[in-house]
Each structure stands twice: as C-alpha cells, then as structure tokens.
Amino acid sequence: MRILALATAFASLALPALAEVSVNDISRYLNSFRSAQAEFTQINGDGSLSTGDLSLQRPGRARFDYDAPNKGLVIAGGGQVAVFDPVSNTPPEQYPLSQTPLSIILAENVDLGRSGMVVGHGGDATQTAITLQDPDNPQAGRIQLVFTPAPVTLRQWVITDDTGNQTTVVLGDMQTNTSLGASLFNIPLEMQRRGLQN
C-alpha cells in the first residue's frame, strides 16, 4: 500500500500544447497557503477505489485518513512517511518522505522554476496538467498535478512511483490555510496511541 505513491487513469492525460495556467501562476498558488484540508477519492493501480480525508501542512506534513472499510492511515511528518495497517499490531511501514514526489509540493517553498523540475506542462481553457520530478532525486518518481483556472485550484494529482505504479487522488473542495494541530502529523505519537513499539 505505497499510498504516497498516489495515481492511475489520468496518467495518460493528453492535453493540447498551449497551457492555460502558467508555471509561475501554479507556483504562486501553491505557495499561497501553508495548510489545506479536503475529502479525496483515490484510484489505485488495480482500479480499486478508496475515499477519505486529507490534511496537508507545509513544510513536509500530510495525513490521509481512509474511510471504512479500509480505515487505513498514512502520515508524513518528521521527514518520514508511515503507513499504518488498521488490522495489524505491528509498527507502521516507514520510508523517507524524499522517496516520494509528494515531497515536492510539501516543500517549505515550492520552486517549480528549478532546472529539471518541470518535465511536462500542457492545458486548455478548462484545465492544466503539470508533471514534476525532484531534479536531485529523479528516481523517486513523478507527480502530475491537475488544476482548473479562474481561480487556480488544485483538483487532482497522479503519482508514478519508482516502480512505475500509479495512483490518482481526486480532491473535493479544498479548504486552505486551516488550523491544524501538530499532533496530526506526529508519527511516534500515533504509534504510542496505538500501543505500537518501534
């Protein structure tokens, strides 16, 4: 369940060459908020669907609370990603946040102008897609962000991980600059709450 390798169906999105929303507009939009919350629908590589609630807080923090019957939990915080299995009494699978391209949009300052960051950009009057990779860590995979214009709004992302697996996350209406407690993104605290040992 490499959930932060989040994507599927939209990876083959074919858009005209002329983009409606510029890279600068996207950078300004992403840097205009420090936190956000939204409901989401996740389309997994095998075609299965999951739903839940997403919380983001830059820099480097995210939380995916999955609805029943999944009831899974993924937390990014402290430079790590932890995948909690709701039916297991074992510690969560953990790996560095830098190993997922989601780290790009969780950066302190989202700088899409870096050389090698943007590897695809296209759109029309209704939506724009931009594909990004970490130029310092391209083997970590890519993230494609899809926006609607006027005002610029993030609608979905598609992550292709280092194995080529894709997962799509479609966002509901996103509330930005919301007040989020630090404990939401505290992996050791969540482990302690669940009675799990390192």
Question: Is residue 168 a contact partner of residue 7, using CB atoms and an 8 Å limit?
Answer: yes
pLDDT, position 198: 60
pLDDT, position 42: 97
pLDDT, position 124: 87
- pLDDT over 90 for what percent of the chain? 68
pLDDT category of residue 163 using cuts at 50, 70 and 90: confident
CA 141 to chain centre: 12
Answer whether residue 14 shows pLDDT above 90.
Answer: no
Question: Is residue 103 a contact partner of residue 110, using CB atoms and an 8 Å limit?
Answer: no
pLDDT, position 196: 86
> How far is the C-alpha of 104 from the C-alpha of 130, rounded, in Å?
12
Task: For residue range 19-59, list pLDDT tens digits in order.
Answer: 468 999 999 999 999 999 999 999 998 999 999 999 999 99
Task: For residue range 62-112, list pLDDT tens digits in order.
Answer: 999 999 988 899 999 999 999 999 888 889 999 999 988 999 999 999 989
Q: How many CB atoms lie within 10 A of CB 150?
A: 8
Strand (E) or helix (H) holding 191: helix 187-193
